[in-house]
Amino acid sequence: MILTQCAVCATELGLSLGKKCGRCSTRYCGAECQVQHWKEGGHDTLCKKIKKAGGAEQYNANKKYSEAVAVAAEACAEDTKGQTCYICTQAVHWKTKEGLVRGCSCRGTAGFVHVSCLAEQAKILIAEAEENKLGDDALNGRWVRWHTCSLCEQDYHGVVAHALGWSCWKTYLGRPEADWNRRLAIGVLGNGLNKADRHEDALSVYGAELPLLRRIGASEDEILITQSNLANSYDQLGRSEEALSMRRDVYSGRLKLSGEEHERTLRAASNYAASLARLRQSEEAKALLRKTIPATRRILGESHQITLHLRCNYALALYEDPAATLDDLREAVTTLEEIETTARRVLGGAKPLTVAIERELQQSREVLQIAQRLQNV
């Protein structure tokens, strides 16, 4: 996680509170903890090393990045055996000696790459856009390289997304707080942590990011994105009521800011409906989904991930409703069968969304079978 806690007592400090070491910027809640860390915590031997790395935050990010790359390469070792990087054409990176990864939807012999090569590619593209003043649209378009494969155009997931998140954060964290790239980098890190199931760490990142955005006067769009990410972390940690409350606010904010048919509004509707269904508010969830799904299919298409998410959430609301009829259960199974075929064709079998749909399909079939047996008793 980014350094939002006292190095000694772990008191939460956000991104701006507390006291810092004058040499290396290690953070403390006060002078007492700072003195204790110097005398008993080994900071006297680490301080110069941390300063040389660029300060405590940079030292931490560099360390976390190296660890994340090693984990990603090890996790992908079997899949990448005998392959080469599509960027540098080598099996082992010439400088870092890291192995290959593949955490997207590429298949066959496509998509094998070093995390360092992906990071270098993203840095070059963004630096070029900045240097040549290509404008916000060009810059934002190039930013996708930090989280999206340039071959299959699908997001990286799992440990690969986690490693890219740390790479992105360590690249831009030294910039001023209000810098656009630094603000985007916090989001990439948080999303990478979530995709690697490090939800407590992601919650800490988003929880620190939100007050920062408000303090620097960020746009409503940025704040809504961070609130949505924060709600996703709440949801993953089982804090369903908090997730529902925040997702309701995000959906309401999106309707006001972007209108009913904007892609981000449709995504917010999907997340809000998922929370409603999870808390057994089935009728409200189904009403929202029945209103939203036709527009999503028309605007984004049948194979778009938001469409697949919405239809999966609709099936979930159907079969998890305690008052579901046999027709409801059959509709849920049919819907999941349709989108499972689409997800497998478009995203591949390893994509987390495909895995989730297949899991829901299996569960919905079991629920239908039980209901049918009970009816025949």
Cα 348 to Cα 265: distance, rounded to the nearest angstrom: 26
Q: Which residue would you say has higher pLDDT here, 259 or 20?
A: 259
Q: How many CB atoms lie within 10 A of CB 255?
A: 14
Between CA 176 and CA 279, with CA 203 as vertex, the angle to 5 degrees is 140
Cα 241 to Cα 278: distance, rounded to the nearest angstrom: 10
Please write the tens of the pLDDT for every residue from 162-190: 999 999 999 999 999 899 899 999 999 99
Query: Are the CB atoms for 102 and 200 separated by under 8 Å?
Result: no
Q: Which two tokens stand for residue 282?
A: 């089935």
pTM of the model: 0.82
Cα 100 to Cα 92: distance, rounded to the nearest angstrom: 7
Q: Any idea what DSSP says for residue 175?
A: S
CA–centroid distance for 181 within its chain: 17
Residue 240 is predicted with a pLDDT of 95
For 262, phi then psi, to 5°, come to: -75, 145
- Burial readout 43-56 (b: 16 or more C-beta within 10 A, e: otherwise): beeebeebbebbbb
Residue 15 is predicted with a pLDDT of 59
Q: Which residue would you say has higher pLDDT here, 14 or 148?
A: 148
Query: Are the CB atoms for 118 and 102 separated by under 8 Å?
Result: no
Give residues with Cβ within 8 angstroms of 30, minimum separation 6: 18, 19
Query: Are the CB atoms for 281 and 321 separated by under 8 Å?
Result: no
Confidence of residue 1 (pLDDT cuts 50, 70, 90): very low
Task: Delimit the domains of the chain by residue range.
Answer: 1-53, 58-103+110-199
Please write the tens of the pLDDT for every residue from 252-280: 999 999 999 999 999 999 999 999 988 98
Query: Are the CB atoms for 19 and 28 separated by under 8 Å?
Result: yes
Q: Which two tokens stand for residue 327?
A: 């027709």
Q: Any idea what DSSP says for residue 104?
A: S
CA–centroid distance for 347 within its chain: 17
Rg (CA), the chain: 23
- DSSP symbols for 113-152: B-HHHHHHHHHHHHHHHHHTT--HHHHHHHHGGGTB-TTT
Residue 8 is predicted with a pLDDT of 56
